[in-house]
Amino acid sequence: MTADFSQDVGRAVLNRDATVYPTLRDLIDSGYMDCQGKVVAGRRQHTCNLTEKGKEAYVAGARAWKQAR
């Protein structure tokens, strides 16, 4: 897992004022996710996907989690 990802997620988890939207924004700004928005039935909806960088970080995190258990 990259140090940047660990620090980004750590800040998000430790920030008591955090909600899902600032966390998603941080992941997008850090290049781990890409989100596209569209309007459906008058409401804005977003579809988010992991980028290659996000997929690599996810795999590394899952591997570390499995070893820690």
C-alpha span between 39 and 52 (Å, rounded): 26
Give the model's pLDDT for residue 39.
94
Give the model's pLDDT for residue 21.
82
pLDDT digits (tens, 9 = 90+) for 7-63: 665 565 555 555 788 888 899 999 999 999 999 999 999 899 999 999 999 999 999
Give the model's pLDDT for residue 14.
57
Q: Residues 6 or more apart from 46 whose CB is under 8 A from it?
A: 35, 36, 37
Whether the pTM exceeds 0.75: the reply is no
Topology classification of domain 3-68: Arc Repressor Mutant, subunit A (1.10.10)
